[in-house]
Amino acid sequence: MKTNIKQRISAWTAIAAIVGVVLSPAIASAAFDDTNQTINAIVDPVISIGTGPAVDILLTPTSGGVLSNDSDTVTVDTNNATGYNLEIEDGDATRTLANGGNSFAASTGTKTTPIALLNNTWGFAVNTGTTGIGTNGFDASYGAESNSASSTSLWAGMPANGAPIMLKTTSTTAVADTTTVWFAAKATTSLPSGTYTDQIVYTATTN
């Protein structure tokens, strides 16, 4: 049987098409997946506290007794969103300003019921207008007094170590938040001259 040219061309075309199909690269559809992630920056609460220089109560006593005072500034910084508590207590259990065997006794007044200082006693106070001080019986304001024989300012006794009392509480972050704490002593000539000393402790805690 004779094969004509058209048949040959048709056959070769069919073979080329088959080879082309075989040799052509396979094209696959792409597969993918995704997911989400949460990033949390967790900032811990921090707090710092500082005070001013030593509190010096300068007294020139009389037989009837005179009162002098001086103030301290407590500064607190905290990033705690709900604020901080500030407490005060004595550094030990004696609660006295002592010089050898002589001393100023701590006032018997309290934060809620402060009293005028008796002779040869000492105490502390915070202005009633101080934000966060809470319920207390202190005066509306305190100012400098020097050797006053007729002072009527009211004072609380320093609480013993291990039994602090709350000075102030806040409810938000604080940047250089200050609290002025006043200290006073009343002296008669029955006390020998000298420096009468005690250590107190302020504690600031995030709330």
- Interval 164-204: pLDDT, tens: 999 999 999 999 999 999 999 999 999 999 999 999 999 99
- What mean pLDDT is predicted for residues 77-103? 97
Compare 11 and 27 and report the one with higher pLDDT: 27
Average pLDDT over residues 144-156: 96
Contact partners, residue 171, CB within 8 Å, separation at least 6: 82, 83, 132
- Span 32-69, pLDDT tens digits: 999 999 999 999 999 999 999 999 999 999 999 999 99
Question: pLDDT confidence of 11, banded at 50, 70, 90?
Answer: low
Q: Where are the alpha helices (DSSP H) in 24-160?
A: none
- Higher confidence at residue 28 or residue 122? 122
| pLDDT score for 130 | 87
92, pLDDT greater than 80: yes
Answer with the residue of higher pLDDT: 132 or 11: 132
Alpha-carbon distances, residue 30 vs 21, 36, 141, 176 (angstroms):
22, 21, 79, 60
pLDDT above 70 (res 127): yes
Q: What's the pLDDT score for residue 24?
A: 54
Residues 6+ apart with CB under 8 A from 11: none
Q: Is residue 74 predicted with pLDDT exceeding 90? A: yes
User: What pLDDT, on the 0 to 100 scale, is given for residue 135?
Assistant: 85
Q: What is the mean pLDDT of residues 153-166?
A: 96
Which of 178, 169, 173 lies closest to 85 in space, CA to CA?
A: 169
Q: Does the pLDDT value for residue 18 go beyond 60?
A: no
Is the model's pLDDT at 5 over the cut of 80? no
Measured from the Cβ of residue 184, the count of other Cβ atoms closer than 10 Å reads 28
